[in-house]
Structure 1
Amino acid sequence: MDLMQNFHLLRPGWLLALPLLWGTSFWLARRNSGDGDWKQLVDSDLLPGLLLASDSKRNWTPWPWLALAWTIAVLALSGPSWQKETSVAFRGTEEWALILDLSPSMAASDVKPNRFTRARYALDDILNSAKDARVSLIAFSDEPYTVTPMTDDVATIRALLPPLSPNIMPSAGDNVAPALEQAEKLIRQGGANKGQIIVLTDGFSDPAAAFVAAKKLKSQGMTVNVVAIGTPAGAPLSKQDGSFVQNAQGTLKMASLDVELLQQLASAGGGRYVELSQLPDLLTNLQARSEQTGKVNAEKNIQVQHWLDGGVWLLPFLLLASAFLARRGWL
């Protein structure tokens, strides 16, 4: 009774192939019948007397065996299942939301070759350290743009890094607060209530809104870390055509790094402020937190149940039917 109650097919869609395969077997049997096409030309009463005596081997045909083999194969592919297996499951619950500044100032070349390229290199290092963490990527200028939602496929994110530059942004700006709000949405959409937010930036133009957003994230169990891209001395701000931006007085406009502003953002978000040279220390700390989370989840001994695919038990019967198809003299 338990077998009948629990029996079901994991992939029942495969059964739709059975009528087609049976029809093909019937068509092949008719097409290769011993009478050939003479029955269309000779009277049915005269035809047996005109046909040569057939070999006794041809009294057996392979088509029923072919239909049987196809039927067994389709039933195996449909995934018959009647029992469950319990196993211990673990998935890292760490969520990392990476925020990349692509404002015009990121084109400055005070760090070689330029700031946004160095930020992409830093993102690559972060992805190498993600391990069991799930990662998302946001790019921002005046508005945030989700490059990838939360995923454990860091290879896909890494493949999207090379095209990222200020030139691809539809409009100029430097507002980090909306990007922080977007990071919160992605973390929650990933099914987590806590997460690490890593902002790679050289500054922003909305400090009041940014500090409020960072404090809100901190109160909800999320941490805002800041990676500074650039140097305090800065470099001339360049345009897309390669020329430098000038102010009203005709002097070059500098893209400098406001260290104090970035430190305040990290402090408001309960995270760390680091420069590019200190990024390995930040990653070591984040990895330690991720491992600690993994230990806590392992202690909970999370168990999941899944249905076993019983199609494998049909394979011996499929091999047996296929063996009959290899009989000499079928055709």
Structure 2
Amino acid sequence: MTEIVLLRPGWLVALPLLILLALWTWRRVPHAGGWGHVMPTRMLRAMQTLGHLHVGTRQSGASCLLAAAVLSIGLAGPAVPRDDAPLLAGSGAILIAIDMSRSVATSPALADAQASAAQVLAAAGGRAVGLILYDGEAYDVAAPTVDPSTLETQIAVLGPETMPGQGSRPAAAFALARQMLSTFSDGDLVLISDGGGMDAASVAEAERLTSSGARLLLLTLSGTAGPDVPPDIFDRLPGVSAIAAARAPEPVLRQLSEASHWRDAQAISPLRFLDLGPFISILALVPLMSLFRRTI
């Protein structure tokens, strides 16, 4: 089924107003332009019979209201996606921060982290993507680049011996991400983690990151080798835009690729959708043409 969107939905507010106006008009009797107030009823009918006076009809009022309703629907901008829409490169940058603590690196969860990171690369839509790995410290493995193939290799070779340190400090990853995204007008951090090390320092650094204008998206790992973490551990982080399991990352991927992420989505909507509004507005001429019908 073809998806239909409204580019200017505010114009639909006119429809209920037109319905109320139609009901009010229907309850009124046809008028004669004010002559009914100064002429006796007999004289008014005689003038109408002789053709010297024309009385308005409900049909003419209904035609005008129907035309106005069609115009309001057309102005609302019903549109369908264009098959020939150009593929535009996104703006800003995406950083992928992968938890490489021993609890993740020595467990099957590492494969989930690698697979979800690869899916983030595919959903970047031409935006620059960088890579951060962290355990007890955070390292900027790759600065944001528009060539994701360089990151695919680095993500594919991750293993238990990749990181030298111990522990897990998401706070260090948040701080490093804020520094790396400071030169971009907008940016996203996709954190892939099992929730280990989410302490007060992590909450504070996450708040600094989101306050700087960056978005925080989370992909959670399960089945790690470390101790169990509280199920609400990620709820402590402020300003999270989306959260999903690494094995089902669609909500996060949708946030990365959807048009609402564009700062000027209205400007590019004509490129992405075929506006049917002008074609629907032309149909308003059909009820209006009945007003020009000649009577004999």
The TM-score with structure 1 as length reference comes to: 0.51
Q: 1:284 aligns with which of 254, 263, 274?
A: 254
- How many residues of Structure 1 are paired with residues of Structure 2 in the alignment? 182
Asked if structure 1 preserves the Cα contact closer than 8 Å seen for 2:186 and 2:213, the reply is yes
Please tell me whether the aligned partners of residues 218 and 252 of structure 2 are also in contact (alpha carbons under 8 angstroms). no
The AA in structure 2 aligned to 1:93 is S
Report the 3-state secondary structure (helix = DSSP H, G, I; strand = E; otherwise coil) of the residue aligned with 1:174. Answer: coil
Deviations for 1:261-280, whole angstroms, at most 9, x for unmatched residues?
12322xx1332221124311
Residue by residue over 1:195-251, the C-alpha shift from the partner in whole angstroms, topping out at 9 and shown as x without a partner, is 1111000123251011001111121111111110114xx5xx4xxxxxxxxxxxxxx
* Contact 2:93/2:129 (<8 A) preserved: yes
Over 3 Å counting, the alpha-carbon distance change for 1:220 and 1:296 in structure 2 is farther
244, 258, 266: which one pairs with 1:274?
Answer: 244
SS at match of 2:208: helix
Distance (whole Å) between structure 2 residues aligned to residue 203 and residue 179 of structure 1: 13
User: What SS does the aligned partner of 1:216 have?
Assistant: helix
Residues 95 and 131 of structure 2 are in contact (CA less than 8 Å); yes or no, is this contact kept in structure 1?
yes
Query: Of the two, which has the highest radius of gyration?
Result: 1
Question: What's the counterpart of residue 176 of structure 1?
Answer: 170
Q: In the TM superposition, what whole-angstrom CA distance separates every residue of 1:22-43 from its partner, at most 9, and x where no partner exists?
A: xxxxxxxxxxxxxxxxxxxxxx
- The percent of aligned pairs where both chains have the same amino acid is 22
Give the equivalent residue in structure 1 for 2:93: 95
Aligned-partner Cα distance in 2 for 1:295–1:177 = 33
Secondary structure of 2:248's match? helix
| Moved >3 Å (runs of 4+) | 293-299
Give the distance between the partners of 1:121 and 1:264, measured in 2 at CA: 26
The amino acid of 2:244's aligned partner reads V
User: How far apart in 2 are the matches of 1:116 and 1:181?
Assistant: 23
How far the C-alpha of 1:292 sits from its partner, in A, is 2.7
Asked if 1:121 corresponds to 2:115, the answer is yes
> Which residues in structure 2 correspond to 1:1-331 (within 5 Å)?
92-107=90-105, 109=107, 114-188=108-182, 191-231=183-223, 237=225, 254-265=226-237, 268-289=238-259, 292-293=262-263, 295=265
Deviations 1:131-178 (A, max 9, x none): 221110000000001110011110101011122123221111100111
Aligned-partner Cα distance in 2 for 1:216–1:102:
23
Counterpart code for 2:97? I
Q: Distance in 2 between matches of 1:297 and 1:166?
A: 47
**Runs of 5+ unmatched residues, structure 1:** 1-89, 238-253, 300-331
2:204 aligned counterpart, secondary structure: helix
Q: 1:180 to 1:97 in 2, by over 3 A?
A: same
Partner deviation per Cα, 1:44-69 (whole Å, 9 max, x = no partner) = xxxxxxxxxxxxxxxxxxxxxxxxxx
Q: Is the 8 A contact 1:100 1:138 kept in 2?
A: yes
Q: Counterparts of 1:128 and 1:162 in 2: how far apart (Å)?
A: 14
The separation in 1 between residues aligned to 2:245 and 2:200, in whole angstroms, is: 23
SS of the equivalent of 2:104 reads helix
Given residue 215 of structure 2, which amino acid in structure 1 is its aligned partner? Answer: T
Question: Equivalent residue of 2:181, what SS?
Answer: helix
2:246 maps to a residue whose letter is: L
Residues 1:127 and 1:211: Cα distance change in structure 2 (over 3 Å) = same
Query: Alignment partner of 2:185: what SS?
Result: coil
Q: What TM-score, normalized by structure 2, do the two folds share?
A: 0.56
